[in-house]
Amino acid sequence: MQARAESRQALNMAEERARKAEKARLVEWFHGAALLEVCLFYWQHQLTEKLSDRKSIRARVAAQRCNLEDSDSSDMLATILPRLAREHATRLRADFATVDAMLKTGAPENDSSWIDTIGDRADPPQHIFLQHMGRMVQANLCQCLDQGCAEALTTALLEKAQRRLYRPGMELLFPLLEKEALQEIRTYFDTLYHTSPDTCIAQMQPPEQPVRFSVAEFEAALAELPSNKAVPATLPPALLWKTAASCLARRLTPQLNEWLADMTQPPPSEWHVADIFLLLKPGKKPSAAALRPISLLHPVAKALATMLKHRVQPAVNAFLEQLPQYAYTQQRSAQDALDRAFTHCTLVQAILRTQTLTPQARKQGHQVLPCRGGITLSVDIRKAFDLMPREHLLSALSKAKIDDAHCWTIMQLHAHAQMQFSYAQSIPVMEYGRDVG
C-alpha cells in the first residue's frame, strides 16, 4: 500500500512538473508572438506610407512574419529597427519595451491560483470571456502604447488566445490587464445609476391590503418565460423553469406572497439581484462609457414583473389610448411608430417638391411660397431609462390611476433592485438609485 501511494505521489509530481513546463513554453511562445506583432505593426505602418498596393504590403508583412516568427526577441528588434524612419523606430523601441516588461512580470501568484479554478460550468462561455478580456486589455494597452499598435496587438493576441483552452487563454492575457479596470467600471456605473436616496419611496405608506398572486397566475407567468433567454449562471436554465412551472409555482407562491406582505426587507434567494454582463458597443473605443450592460434576471423576478404587467395593463391601455405612444401597449408596435415617422417625412418631401419652380410650372402660373415645409425633430434618448428619476415613475403610475397597492409594490421592487458585476475574485454589488426596469 505504501509503495502504491508513493508511486501515485511520484506520478502526480511528474504530471505537475509537466504541466508547469508546458505552461512555461506556452507563456514564452505568447511573449515572443506579442513582441513580433509589435514589430510587424510598425513595419506595416512604414510600408503603408511608402507603398499604395495593399496586396504587396500584405505579402511583405507575411514574408517578414515567416522570417522572424522563430527568432529571438532581440533579433526581431534588430531586424526591423534599421528599416524604419526615426519617428517609427523611437515609438517601436518604447512600445516593445512596454509590452516586454508587462509579459515578463506575468500574473501575480494570487491571481495565478485563482486562474487555476476557472473554466467550470458556472463561468461564462469562452467567447464572452474573451470579449470582456479583449475590451479590458485594449483599454489598458491604449494608455501605454500607440493607439493603433494597441488595437492591432489586442486583435492579434485574442485570435491566438481563441485557439487555446479557457484557462490557458486567461493565463496568457491576464498580465496585460489593467488592475484598475474593475474600479473604472464600478465608478462609471455607480455614478450613472446611484444618486441620493429616493425620497418619494421613503414617503410612501404600505397599503392596507398588499398585492397577492395566485398559484395559477405564478404558473402562467413562469410558463411565459422565453426558453432561449439566459439566466444567472448559478441557476438552472430557463427551459427547466418553464417546464416545471406548475411544481415551482406551488412551492414559490407562498414565499412570494409572504414577502409582498412586508417589502421593507429584501426578497429571499437574491431575487432582486441582476447579474450584469458588459459588452462593448460596436464602433466605440474601449471605455466604461462604451459598455452595454446586459442584465440576467432571476426567473422569479421575471415572473413577478410579468404578473404585475398583466395586473396594470388595462389601466395603462386606457391611459395611453389617446397618446401617440407605441411602446408597451397592446395592438401597437415599433412598426407603427416607424410608419408614422415615414409618413410625415413623405408628406414633407411632397411639399418641398411643390416649392421647385420649373419652366413648365412657371408657364402654368405656379408660384413658390416664401416659407413652406415641415419640421422633423430627432431626440437622443440614450440613457433615457438609466437616468430617469423614480419620482417620474411614481408620477406616471399615479396619472395612469394605478391602485395604491400595485404602485407600492412596483416602487419597492425598484428600491430593492441591485446589480452584480463579476470579475476575477471580485463580485461588487451596486444599488440602483435611479433607472427603471
Collect all residues with Cβ–Cβ distance below 8 Å to 373 and sequence separation of at least 6: 348, 351, 352, 355
Tens digit of each residue's pLDDT (9 = 90 or more) over 94-103: 888 888 887 7
Evaluate if residue 433 carries a pLDDT over 90. Answer: no
Residue 176 confidence class, pLDDT cut points 50, 70, 90? low
- Does this model's pTM top 0.75? My answer is no
Phi-psi region of 54 (alpha: psi -120 to 50; beta: other; left: phi over 0): alpha
Q: Please give the Cα distance from 29 to 48 (Å, whole number).
A: 28
> Is 23 a domain residue?
yes
Q: Please give the Cα distance from 87 to 396 (Å, whole number).
A: 61
pLDDT at 172: 58
Q: How many CB atoms lie within 10 A of CB 222?
A: 25
> Is 297 a domain residue?
yes
Count of domains for the chain: 2
**Bigger pLDDT: 353 or 346?**
346
pLDDT at 111: 47
Angle between helices 2-50 and 86-105 (to 10 degrees): 170
Q: How many CB atoms lie within 10 A of CB 359?
A: 7
- Give me the half-sphere count of Cα atoms (radius 13 Å) on the Cβ side of residue 403: 12
Name the least confident of 70-74, 144-148, 170-174, 410-414: 170-174
pLDDT at 420: 79
Q: Both 99 and 23 in a single domain?
A: yes
Q: Give the mean pLDDT of the chain.
A: 78
pLDDT at 254: 95
Q: Both 60 and 169 in a single domain?
A: yes
Evaluate if residue 120 carries a pLDDT over 70. Answer: no
C-alpha dist (Å) from residue 325 to 31, 322, 392 = 56, 9, 17
Buried b (16+ CB within 10 A) or exposed e, 246-275: eebbeebbeebbebbeebeeebeebbbbbb
> Is 394 a domain residue?
yes
Q: Which of 149, 179, 209 is the last residue of a domain?
A: 179
Q: Please give the Cα distance from 325 to 149 (Å, whole number).
A: 47
DSSP-assigned letter for residue 276:
E
Q: Which of 179, 209, 236 is the last residue of a domain?
A: 179
> What domain range includes position 232?
197-336+387-431
Q: Please give the Cα distance from 406 to 404 (Å, whole number).
A: 6
